[in-house]
């Protein structure tokens, strides 16, 4: 985008929607062009002498650091664990890079790191290398955490955003938008009481269970920033397929739905931190669903729609009232610093 160099970075460039997609495809991909990066998946899978490894990274800038259901510590661990899990990998090792603002109470740092450690134990991963930078007051806001992770991809597993086929069923492992709403209500000091908690959770065991139960699954994705709507669009584009989802089948917690109605948010575009999407061949869809529902993080899993051959790259929602609505990629930032 040579003519666009006069523009400045906006919040939308980080929102996981259209502008972020454009930044990736127009600046980052051409610049760092290579086949592994071009997979455009949650993580990259590369061959070693024996076996394949997955490698992924994610940075967390969530505000506030602590919110109902979790903290930046758990997010930073689960985020990278889940990116690896969505490659079909068994997450093994993490790195952690901290950027701390001068003045952060040591007790807050300790609490965040303790919660990170607990999340690592739950996911079965180890922190093996790290780095800490402290910046002067005002040069960063409290604490940012980057994690990168390495996982082992079992033989025979081939997962990618381009693996959806017409006829596949689309599965979602539980309710949408819990994380987005939990952070939002905490941040805005909302007057109303809410029991909504972040869904931050490790998805590696559930992902492996799904792949064991439904070996035909070729697409896994965790709908974080940009939500389910954006993640489905990415898959539809990469697989060159259409998708139809049923509004009536989309799991949403009633409290989350209520807050979304009140504030004018669409749960399809709010962040999730412990949910996964998968596309499963029709004859294996029930087995995949059962595997999800057997997980403590997948009890409300549902089949939400179907992959189609019509209108490749387009996601359509059949509404409750019998209409048909196009589900576009998120445009603009709904909630900055949500993860």
Reply yes or no: is the peptide bond before residue 56 cis, omega within 30 of 0.
Answer: no
* 100/79 Cα distance (integer angstroms): 19
In whole angstroms, how close is the CB of 129 to its own copies at the nearest point? Answer: 4
* 143/145 Cα distance (integer angstroms): 7
Q: Does 179 bind its own copies (CB under 8 A)?
A: no
Subset of 308-337 contacting its own copies (CB under 8 A): 336-337
Nearer to its own copies, 128 or 240 (CB): 128
Is residue 37 within 8 A of residue 29, CB to CB? The reply is yes
CA atoms in the 13 A half-sphere facing the CB of 70? 32
Q: Does 273 bind its own copies (CB under 8 A)?
A: no
In whole angstroms, how close is the CB of 148 to its own copies at the nearest point? Answer: 3
Nearer to its own copies, 94 or 182 (CB): 94
Take residue 40 and report the two structure tokens written for it.
């455009």
Exactly one of 61, 278, 316, 330 binds its own copies (CB under 8 A); which one? 61
Exactly one of 124, 130, 261, 309 binds its own copies (CB under 8 A); which one? 130
Q: Does 195 bind its own copies (CB under 8 A)?
A: no
Exactly one of 18, 22, 25, 27 binds its own copies (CB under 8 A); which one? 27
Nearer to its own copies, 151 or 298 (CB): 151
* 76/127 Cα distance (integer angstroms): 12
Q: Does 156 bind its own copies (CB under 8 A)?
A: no
Q: How many CB atoms lie within 10 A of CB 336?
A: 12
Q: Does 216 bind its own copies (CB under 8 A)?
A: no
Using CA atoms, how far residue 141 sits from 65, 96, 118, 307, in Å, is: 10, 18, 24, 42
Residues that bind its own copies (rule: CB under 8 A) add up to a total of 81
Exactly one of 114, 188, 195, 261 binds its own copies (CB under 8 A); which one? 114
Greatest Cα pair distance, the chain, in angstroms, is: 58
Q: Does 268 bind its own copies (CB under 8 A)?
A: no
Subset of 81-100 contacting its own copies (CB under 8 A): 93, 95-100
Nearer to its own copies, 12 or 306 (CB): 12
Nearer to its own copies, 119 or 327 (CB): 119
Cβ neighbours for 206, distance < 8 A, ≥ 6 positions apart: 85, 173, 276, 291, 292, 295, 297, 298
């Amino acid at each position: 985008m040579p003519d666009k160099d006069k523009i400045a970075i906006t919040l939308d460039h980080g929102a996981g929607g259209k502008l972020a997609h454009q930044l990736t495809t127009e600046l980052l991909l051409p610049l760092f062009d290579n086949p592994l990066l071009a997979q455009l998946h949650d993580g990259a899978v590369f061959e070693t002498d024996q076996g394949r490894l997955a490698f992924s990274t994610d940075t967390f800038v969530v505000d506030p650091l602590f919110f109902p259901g979790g903290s930046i510590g758990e997010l930073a661990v689960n985020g990278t664990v889940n990116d690896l899990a969505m490659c079909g990998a068994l997450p093994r090792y993490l790195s952690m890079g901290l950027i701390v603002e001068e003045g952060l109470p040591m007790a807050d740092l300790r609490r965040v790191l303790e919660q990170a450690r607990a999340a690592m134990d739950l996911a079965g991963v180890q922190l093996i290398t790290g780095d800490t930078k402290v910046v002067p007051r005002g040069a960063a806001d409290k604490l940012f955490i980057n994690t990168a992770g390495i996982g082992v991809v079992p033989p025979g597993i081939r997962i990618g955003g381009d693996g959806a086929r017409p006829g596949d069923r689309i599965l979602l492992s539980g309710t949408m938008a819990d994380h987005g709403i939990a952070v939002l209500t905490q941040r805005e000091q909302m007057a109303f009481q809410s029991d909504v908690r972040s869904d931050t959770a490790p998805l590696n065991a559930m992902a492996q269970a799904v792949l064991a139960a439904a070996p035909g699954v070729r697409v896994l994705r965790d709908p974080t920033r940009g939500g389910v709507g954006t993640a489905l669009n990415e898959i539809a584009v990469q697989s060159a397929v259409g998708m139809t989802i049923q509004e009536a089948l989309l799991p949403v917690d009633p409290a989350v739905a209520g807050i979304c109605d009140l504030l004018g948010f669409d749960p399809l575009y709010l962040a999730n931190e412990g949910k996964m999407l998968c596309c499963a061949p029709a004859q294996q869809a029930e087995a995949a669903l059962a595997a999800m529902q057997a997980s403590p993080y997948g009890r409300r899993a549902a089949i939400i729609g179907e992959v189609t051959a019509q209108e490749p790259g387009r996601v359509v929602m059949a509404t409750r009232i019998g209409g048909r609505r196009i589900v576009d990629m998120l445009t603009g930032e709904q909630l900055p610093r949500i993860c």
